[in-house]
């Protein structure tokens, strides 16, 4: 008998927490309970206890540790996805070694990755609470293994003021770059569900693809392993961006976790600046920051693409790119894991096109071809 994962109207989303640390289970339980849209269905110290609890009641989402006794989280995730797919968020203390396991978890079907909650300072606790609740709410509305996912409701927890890109990069009057003065550049933003969506897009790009810069919401120390994994699968060079990296054809730069990335123009060439700063649109790195810098420095030479993800980060930035003459695309609802960021952009009128995931690589190719014709 197939399991019905459609959400019941009006009820809270039920979260199962699986972690061998009692302190972490308690911290996560308190955080989830603080969100009026969520409730803790149960806690388990290991996958065997979790499996027993799932047989009694199916949760809307699971928050799962990787390193546990008896059975590691990755093995449990793979068994779960093959037998009874449930949205899973990996929650772990990230290290360089551990980040490789996170990549494997995403490939196995996890919808997102988060850090274990920080409780060392009040500010860290506030940030952890907002982010974990956001991710849990998005995951609870996802349908694992399927393309279509429910729309994510606005965040229920309002703890700190939501900042715009002005907090990192002040707005300024947009100036159109001279025609043909620079090569084409592609700017992509993604969040929940984006890691696998990006893999699908980048694997279709040729070795000489347009210069590409990407903000994918993910924790610190994870982006290096993610970039390395993609570099081994894809024809273009793919690397975690470092301050001052050249933005050139055949190279894809991915913003490092917990740092903002901005596009800078030096004459007829581009480079990236990697900077600290407050969270913008609740994220660091922020898609809005990258897209604003592209609007200011690339204008009509750029293509902006906003892909699957919760919230609205990137929507305003994509609108600014369109106003500067850039081509703009939003991923369609049917192929999104979470139709939040693209929907916000569409509602603002920021997306000139709305396309499915499998068409995005072709749109990038068509954009590059048009740019070459203009330069000739």
Catalytic machinery residues? 191, 217, 313
Pairing of strands 327-331, 353-355: parallel
Other C-beta atoms closer than 10 Å to the C-beta of 60 total 24
Sheet containing strand 353-355, edge to edge, reads 237-240, 251-254, 211-216, 185-190, 302-306, 327-331, 353-355
Instruction: For residue 90, list its beta bridge partners.
Output: 64, 113
Q: Cα separation of 331 and 329, whole Å? A: 7
Q: Cα separation of 150 and 7, whole Å? A: 9
DSSP label at residue 146: -
Pairing of strands 302-306, 269-275: unpaired
The continuous run of DSSP H or E covering 376 comes out as none
| Residue among 317, 321, 342 at smallest CA distance from 330 | 342
The continuous run of DSSP H or E covering 88 comes out as strand 88-92
In residues, how long is the chain? 376
DSSP label at residue 102: H
Q: Cα separation of 47 and 53, whole Å? A: 10
3-state DSSP call for residue 105? helix
Q: Using an 8 Å Cβ cutoff, are 330 and 301 in contact?
A: no
As a whole number of Å, the CA-based R_g of the chain is 20
DSSP label at residue 339: B
């Amino acid at each position: 008998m197939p399991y019905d994962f459609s959400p019941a109207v009006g009820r809270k989303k039920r979260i199962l927490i699986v972690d061998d640390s009692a302190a972490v289970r308690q911290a996560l339980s308190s955080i989830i309970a603080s969100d009026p849209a969520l409730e803790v269905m149960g806690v388990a110290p290991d996958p065997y206890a979790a499996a027993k609890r799932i047989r009694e009641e199916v949760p809307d989402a699971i928050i799962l540790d990787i390193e546990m006794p008896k059975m590691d989280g990755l093995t449990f995730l793979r068994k779960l996805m093959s037998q009874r797919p449930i949205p899973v968020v990996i929650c772990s203390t990230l290290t360089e070694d551990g980040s490789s396991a996170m990549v494997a978890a995403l490939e196995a079907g996890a919808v997102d990755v988060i850090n274990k909650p920080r409780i060392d300072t009040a500010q860290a606790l506030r940030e952890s609470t907002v982010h974990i609740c956001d991710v849990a709410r998005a995951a609870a509305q996802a349908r694992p293994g399927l393309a279509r996912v429910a729309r994510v409701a606005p965040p229920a927890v309002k703890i700190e003021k939501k900042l715009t890109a002005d907090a990192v990069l002040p707005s300024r009057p947009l100036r159109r770059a001279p025609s043909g003065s620079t090569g084409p550049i592609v700017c992509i933003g993604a969040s929940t569900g984006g890691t696998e969506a990006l893999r699908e897009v980048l694997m279709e790009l040729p070795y000489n693809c347009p210069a590409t810069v990407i903000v994918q919401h993910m924790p610190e120390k994870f982006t290096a392993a993610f970039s390395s994994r993609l570099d081994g699968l894809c024809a273009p060079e793919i690397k975690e961006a470092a301050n001052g990296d050249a933005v050139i054809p055949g190279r894809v730069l991915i913003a490092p976790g917990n740092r903002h990335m901005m596009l800078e123009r030096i004459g007829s060439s581009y480079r990236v600046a990697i900077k600290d700063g407050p969270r913008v649109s609740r994220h660091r790195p922020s898609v809005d920051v990258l897209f604003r810098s592209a609007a200011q420095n690339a204008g009509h030479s750029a293509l902006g693409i906003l892909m699957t993800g919760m919230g609205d980060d990137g929507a305003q930035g994509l609108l600014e790119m369109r106003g500067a003459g850039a081509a703009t695309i939003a991923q369609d609802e049917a192929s999104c894991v979470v139709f939040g960021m693209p929907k916000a952009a569409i509602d603002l009128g920021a997306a000139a096109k709305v396309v499915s995931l499998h068409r995005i690589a072709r749109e990038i190719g068509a954009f590059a071809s048009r740019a070459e014709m203009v330069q000739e």
